[in-house]
Chains A and B, each alone.
Chain A
Amino acid sequence: MKRALTLIVKFTWFPILFVSLWEVTTRIAANPFFPAPSKIVAATGDVYTKEWLSQSLVTSLFTLFAGYLIGSIAGLILGAILGSYQMLREIFTPITNFIRSIPSAAKVPVIIALFGIGLSSRVTTVAVAVLFPVLLTTLRAVANTDPNMLDYSKLARFGYFRSLFQVRIPAATGEILAGLQASIQIAVLVMVISEMIGSGKGLGAFVIRAQSTYMITDMWVGILTLGIIGLLLTEGFRLLERKVAPWYFTSKGLQ
């Protein structure tokens, strides 16, 4: 009982202090662009309507999940192929680096030209943004398998696929998971950008619209909702990766 109490205090004292300071400073400053957190929370009831949930929240979450899933699966597959085939890697590395170097926001016009303004173009934008970091981390990890393990794979006379799936990919688990995790933030960021440009739908569009119509508290509701989504996804991923590769975390003594 006492231990549980200590734990609660340990993890909550700073957030409580932070929110309190935020509340006090915003009340004193009384700046219309910085509403007090209590006002933002009170406004959620008005903002979170059924229509808003389906128009903004669900649209955004769909864009995020679909884009992330497509991008990361494509990145994993391409990364595994390029990582295990030196010749293909040499052919495709320059072009991959070039496309990767174009900022995601700058790719949006091209994607809109290809897919029009709408869901498919937003999903594509997220997918393309997620694809490259996942591809690169996977490629690098799969290409740099410990030579001892590769020797073993040759001694066991494993063919290409068996060596890829039994040795190279499992050996690359740690780096692949790190790449997938880093891509969550990228996906959220790019989702918001894609919604701010053009579409008129999703949380990004909602924030921009609220800002341009001086619905400042609504804007803050949108911003904080995005923060919560990002936080939940990152934490969810942390739990998931421990289910997928428990050996990785315990063998490295990671928390």
Chain B
Amino acid sequence: MKSDQDSGLNLVVKNLGVSYIRKNSNTSVIENLSFDVNPGEVVAICGLSGIGKSTLVRTIAGLVRPSQGEVLIDSQVINGPIESLGFVTQDYSRSLFPWLTVEKNIALPFKGKDISASERKSRVQAAIEEVGLTESARLFPWQLSGGMQQRVAIARALVMKPKFLILDEPFASVDVYVRLDLEDLVSNLVHSHGTTTLLVTHDVDEAIYMADRVLVLSGSPAQLSLDLSVNLKRPRVQMQTRSDATFLTLRDQLHASIRS
């Protein structure tokens, strides 16, 4: 067991290839993809829908087996989900359990883990507070709005104090103002904990606003077509940062790269 001190894990993706067997033919989704992510870095992955962004992060999470190459987190080859990983998907309404209250949904990852009851309780409480769900702890997820449900999913991912966090289109199903709030919430949380974060998004503005670096996937099979550093100072402030000249230049670069 590592110390409780916050420190993100590093990620190495080496010559990664992923393919699916469809109707007896092999469809290659990703081929020969390599990149690194440093501890504590927030990296956004952009690209057109269906390009393989989700497949990539599902492979990194250990939910999909690569057909070639490998994924290493903290120098360990990934063969399945590891304990220090947090994962939030777009489909919060289908990944939260309707038979459990908000509180119990968040406490679920503790099942089968060697953590004392009082520790669990205080960590669930802390996670609920961090995402601002104190009032709704005893409610069921289906009694909450979409944005609130996504907060539950975020709290459930954060309660295990992940050192590596994957967010797969986390805000795609909520309206724009909720989205801005959640972007700030997540940004603050991952920075205060130093969590290494991969953010999949098709929204270029969101990628620049949240990330230290943006990767662009394009082509079929998908390959890395751009690796862009975001040199915007933190803390970032929604409307202000978004009208910064650097922001706008990065945005043009990214749009051009995604469309090419």
Residues on A lying within 8 angstroms of B by beta carbon are 146, 148-149, 151-152, 154-159, 162, 166-167, 170-171, 173, 245, 247-248, 250-251
A-side contacts of B61, CB under 8 Å: 155
Give the residues in chain B near A155, CB-CB below 8 Å.
61, 63, 81, 85, 87
Inter-chain contacts of A158 with B (CB < 8 A): 111-112
For A157, A171, A248, which residue has the most chain B Cβ atoms within 10 angstroms?
A157
**Are A162 and B95 in contact, CB atoms less than 8 angstroms apart?**
no
Residue contact B81 to A148, C-beta cutoff 8 Å: no
Find residues 102-135 in chain B having any chain A CB closer than 8 Å to their own CB.
108-109, 111-112
B99 x A247 contact (CB < 8 A): yes
Give the B interface residue count (CB, 8 A).
22
B112 touching A149, Cβ below 8 Å: no
Known: A148-B91, A251-B142. A157 touches B112 (CB 8 A): yes
Q: How far is the CA of A152 from the CA of B140 in the complex (A)?
A: 18
Chain B residues within an 8 Å CB radius of A167: 97
Q: How far is the CA of A48 from the CA of B61 in the complex (A)?
A: 68
- Nearest A residue to B109 by beta-carbon distance? A156
Write the B58-98 contact mask toward A (1 if CB under 8 angstroms, else 0). 10011100000000000000001101010101010011011
In the complex, given contacts A146-B94, A157-B80, A251-B142, what are 14 additional A-B residue pairs having Cβ atoms less than 8 angstroms apart? A146-B95, A149-B94, A149-B97, A151-B58, A154-B80, A154-B81, A155-B85, A155-B87, A156-B109, A157-B83, A158-B112, A247-B99, A250-B140, A250-B142
Q: Enumerate chain A residues within 8 angstroms of B63, measured Cβ to Cβ.
A: 151, 154-155
Q: Which residue of B lies closest to A151 (CB)?
A: B63
Is the Cβ of B112 less than 8 Å from the Cβ of A152? no
Which residues does chain A contribute within 8 Å of B87, judged by CB atoms? Answer: 151-152, 155
Those 3 A-B pairs whose CB atoms lie nearest each other, nearest first: A148-B94, A148-B95, A251-B142
CB pair B112 A159 closer than 8 Å: yes
Chain A facing B: main interface SS:
helix
> Is B81 in contact with A157, judged by CB distance below 8 angstroms?
yes
**Count of chain A to chain B residue pairs whose CB atoms are closer than 8 Å in the complex:** 57
List of B residues within 8 angstroms of A152 by Cβ = 87, 95
Which of A151, A162, A245 contacts B99, CB < 8 Å?
A: A245
Of B80, B81, B83, B99, which contacts A248 at CB under 8 A? B99
User: Whole-angstrom distance from the CB of A224 to the nearest CB of chain B?
Assistant: 40
Selected from A151, A159, A166, the residue in CB contact (under 8 A) with B89 is A151
With A154-B80, A158-B112 as contacts: A251 and B140 at CB distance below 8 Å: yes
Which residues in B have their C-beta under 8 angstroms from that of A159?
Answer: 112
Chain A residues positioned under 8 Å from B58 (CB to CB) = 151
Question: Complex formed: what's the CA distance from A98 to B198 in Å?
Answer: 51
A248 to B80, CA, bound (A): 32
Chain A residues with Cβ below 8 Å from B89 are 148, 151
Ordered by A's residue number, 8 sampled pairs between the chains whose C-beta atoms are within 8 Å are A148-B95, A151-B89, A154-B80, A158-B112, A162-B111, A167-B97, A250-B140, A250-B142
What residues on B are CB-neighbors of A166 within 8 Å? 108, 111
Question: In the complex, A247→B98 CA distance in Å?
Answer: 7
Residue from B83, B95, B97, B140 within 8 A of A151 (CB atoms): B95
In the docked arrangement, what's the CA distance between A166 and B87, Å?
Answer: 19
Candidate in A148, A152, A157, A250 with the most chain B CB atoms within 10 angstroms: A152
Cβ-defined partner of B97 (8 Å) among A154, A157, A170, A250: A170
> How long is the Cα–Cα vector from A167 to B109 in the complex, in angstroms?
12
Rounded to whole angstroms, the CA-CA distance of A158 and B87 in the bound complex is: 15
Kindly list chain A residues whose C-beta atoms are within 8 Å of the C-beta of B85: 155
Q: Which residue of B lies closest to A165 (CB)?
A: B111
Q: Which residues of B contact A248 (CB under 8 A)?
A: 98-99
